[in-house]
A and B are shown apart, each in its own frame.
Chain A
Amino acid sequence: QTVVTQEPSFSVSPGGTVTLTCGLTSGSVSATSYPSWYQQIPGQAPRTLIYNANIRSSGVPDRYSGSILDNKAVLTITGAQADDESDFYCVLYMGSGIWVFGAGTRVTVL
């Protein structure tokens, strides 16, 4: 069974840049995976950040950007701020109506 991979955690300094990845244990992430990214503060519902690999959702600051690079979906936070400290999830469309989330990356800003 294919698993969606994400780094468990990252630390970034305020003002720094962090790059999160979303891959597959078998195969490559492509445009037809329709990768999307969600931010979740513990205790709250997820918030949509990026869809279709690189389109920012309405109201999302431009310090968040997405792409597909080296067969993985990538979320980059440029100029990290304290309120970026949260969990980030990617989800990939596997076809046949099935979506699979990654286990999430916890980002700490310190």
Chain B
Amino acid sequence: EVQLVESGGTLVQSGGSLSLSCAASQFNFRGYSMSWIRQAPGKGLEWVSYIGSSGSPIYYADSVKGRFTLSRDNAKNSLNLQMNSLRDDDTAVYYCARRSDYYLYFDNWGPGTLVTVSS
């Protein structure tokens, strides 16, 4: 069974930085592209970023472009989201999701990690 486990979520001050990780197991991680998707408290889902299986291409939502950096380490089966210049509206549960390259959908999700940005 595919496993995705996010970590790194915590309380951080507005303007600060935080790094989230996603540990992947039980599948060939280097063969899949991945995404981060977030959900603000009481709100809907928002796609954040995408990375191809080999580390490129990388895409970002306009709301995080220039502030967030997505990377992956295929040797360690891990995905990393570096978040800088955090704002109050970045407060959300952040989900790591595997993306099917054939049908372009998110076929497996982690349980999420909560990031709270407080001014």
Contact = CB atoms under 8 A, between A and B. Distances in A.
A51 to B, nearest CB: 4
Nearest to A34: B104
A40 B44 CA distance: 10
A68 B110 CA distance: 28
Interface of B: 35, 37, 44-47, 50, 57, 59, 61, 95, 100, 103-112
B23 to A, nearest CB: 15
Contacts, number: 62
B105 A104 contact: no
Contacts of B59: 96-98
Interface of A: 34, 36, 38, 40, 45-48, 51-52, 55, 57, 87, 89, 91, 93, 96-104
A36 B106 contact: yes
Contact of B57 (A46, A52, A97, A102): A97
User: Taking chain A's interface residues, is the majority helix, strand, or loop, or is none over half, making it mixed?
Assistant: strand
Nearest to B6: A45
A46 B105 CA distance: 13
A55 B107 contact: no
B44 A101 contact: yes
Contacts of B46: 101
Contacts of B103: 34, 36, 51-52, 55
